[in-house]
Amino acid sequence: GQNIDQPTEMTATEGAIVQINCTYQTSGFNGLFWYQQHAGEAPTFLSYNVLDGLEEKGRFSSFLSRSKGYSYLLLKELQMKDSASYLCAVRSSFSGGYNKLIFGAGTRLAVHP
Protein backbone atom coordinates (compact mmCIF):
# COMPACT_ATOMS: atom_id res chain seq x y z
CA GLY A 1 0.00 0.00 0.00
CA GLN A 2 0.91 3.67 -0.01
CA ASN A 3 1.80 5.40 3.24
CA ILE A 4 3.17 8.89 3.82
CA ASP A 5 3.86 10.24 7.30
CA GLN A 6 4.65 13.77 8.39
CA PRO A 7 4.16 15.59 11.71
CA THR A 8 0.73 17.12 12.19
CA GLU A 9 1.83 20.45 13.64
CA MET A 10 5.00 22.43 14.25
CA THR A 11 5.74 25.84 15.70
CA ALA A 12 8.78 28.03 15.13
CA THR A 13 10.03 31.55 15.75
CA GLU A 14 10.35 34.26 13.15
CA GLY A 15 13.89 34.31 11.75
CA ALA A 16 14.64 30.75 12.81
CA ILE A 17 15.11 27.54 10.79
CA VAL A 18 12.63 24.68 10.76
CA GLN A 19 12.87 21.18 9.28
CA ILE A 20 9.72 19.28 8.31
CA ASN A 21 10.24 15.54 7.88
CA CYS A 22 8.38 13.14 5.65
CA THR A 23 8.70 9.36 5.48
CA TYR A 24 7.04 7.27 2.83
CA GLN A 25 6.36 3.73 1.74
CA THR A 26 5.09 3.60 -1.82
CA SER A 27 5.37 1.47 -4.90
CA GLY A 28 6.54 2.82 -8.25
CA PHE A 29 8.36 5.80 -6.67
CA ASN A 30 9.06 8.46 -9.27
CA GLY A 31 9.83 11.62 -7.34
CA LEU A 32 8.82 13.61 -4.28
CA PHE A 33 7.17 17.03 -4.18
CA TRP A 34 6.65 19.60 -1.46
CA TYR A 35 3.67 21.95 -1.70
CA GLN A 36 2.69 24.91 0.47
CA GLN A 37 -0.96 25.51 1.22
CA HIS A 38 -2.30 28.56 3.02
CA ALA A 39 -5.69 28.16 4.67
CA GLY A 40 -8.48 28.28 2.11
CA GLU A 41 -6.10 28.43 -0.84
CA ALA A 42 -4.73 26.08 -3.47
CA PRO A 43 -1.51 24.13 -2.89
CA THR A 44 1.46 25.80 -4.57
CA PHE A 45 4.61 24.03 -5.71
CA LEU A 46 7.76 24.46 -3.60
CA SER A 47 10.24 21.78 -4.61
CA TYR A 48 10.83 18.50 -6.38
CA ASN A 49 13.41 15.73 -5.75
CA VAL A 50 13.85 12.61 -7.82
CA LEU A 51 17.51 11.85 -7.03
CA ASP A 52 19.12 11.57 -3.60
CA GLY A 53 20.51 14.76 -2.17
CA LEU A 54 19.69 18.33 -1.40
CA GLU A 55 17.91 20.78 -3.68
CA GLU A 56 18.19 24.42 -2.65
CA LYS A 57 15.85 27.16 -3.77
CA GLY A 58 16.25 30.44 -1.94
CA ARG A 59 15.05 30.12 1.65
CA PHE A 60 13.70 26.62 0.96
CA SER A 61 15.69 23.39 0.59
CA SER A 62 14.49 19.83 0.19
CA PHE A 63 16.38 16.62 0.79
CA LEU A 64 15.66 13.09 -0.40
CA SER A 65 17.00 9.66 0.55
CA ARG A 66 15.31 7.02 -1.58
CA SER A 67 16.91 4.10 0.26
CA LYS A 68 15.48 5.35 3.55
CA GLY A 69 12.15 6.51 2.16
CA TYR A 70 12.80 9.88 3.74
CA SER A 71 12.63 13.53 2.79
CA TYR A 72 12.73 16.83 4.60
CA LEU A 73 11.87 20.40 3.79
CA LEU A 74 14.10 23.03 5.36
CA LEU A 75 12.84 26.58 5.73
CA LYS A 76 15.37 29.26 6.68
CA GLU A 77 14.92 32.82 7.92
CA LEU A 78 11.31 32.13 8.75
CA GLN A 79 8.78 34.84 8.07
CA MET A 80 5.25 35.18 9.43
CA LYS A 81 3.89 34.53 5.93
CA ASP A 82 5.44 31.04 6.07
CA SER A 83 2.66 30.01 8.44
CA ALA A 84 0.84 27.44 6.32
CA SER A 85 0.42 23.71 5.76
CA TYR A 86 3.27 21.91 4.03
CA LEU A 87 2.29 18.89 2.00
CA CYS A 88 4.65 16.06 1.15
CA ALA A 89 3.58 14.22 -2.01
CA VAL A 90 5.08 11.16 -3.64
CA ARG A 91 4.72 10.66 -7.37
CA SER A 92 4.10 7.04 -8.27
CA SER A 93 4.15 5.50 -11.70
CA PHE A 94 1.27 3.33 -12.78
CA SER A 95 1.03 0.69 -15.45
CA GLY A 96 -1.24 2.92 -17.50
CA GLY A 97 1.76 5.07 -18.37
CA TYR A 98 1.03 8.02 -16.16
CA ASN A 99 2.03 9.34 -12.76
CA LYS A 100 -0.16 9.98 -9.75
CA LEU A 101 0.55 12.15 -6.70
CA ILE A 102 -0.05 10.60 -3.28
CA PHE A 103 -0.22 13.27 -0.57
CA GLY A 104 0.54 13.15 3.12
CA ALA A 105 -1.88 14.77 5.55
CA GLY A 106 0.24 17.90 5.73
CA THR A 107 2.18 19.65 8.49
CA ARG A 108 0.65 22.86 9.86
CA LEU A 109 3.46 25.29 10.63
CA ALA A 110 2.80 28.25 12.90
CA VAL A 111 5.46 30.98 12.91
CA HIS A 112 5.30 33.33 15.86
CA PRO A 113 7.18 36.58 16.57
Partner 1 sequence: GAGVSQSPRYKVAKRGQDVALRCDPISGHVSLFWYQQALGQGPEFLTYFQNEAQLDKSGLPSDRFFAERPEGSVSTLKIQRTQQEDSAVYLCASSPKREADNEQFFGPGTRLTVL
Asked if 2 and 29 count as a contact pair (C-beta separation under 8 A), the reply is no
Q: CA-CA distance, 15 to 83, in Å (whole number)?
A: 12
DSSP one-letter string for 29-68? EEEEEEEEE-TTS--EEEEEE-SSEEEEETTEEEEEETTT
Q: Which is nearer to partner 1, 14 or 94 (CB)?
A: 94
Span of 10-18, 59-67, 71-79, 93-101 interacting with partner 1 by CB under 8 A: 93-101
Binding mask 51-90 for partner 1 (x = CB under 8 A): ------------------------------------x-x-
Contact footprint for partner 1 (CB under 8 A): 4, 33, 35, 41-45, 48, 87, 89, 91, 94, 96-106
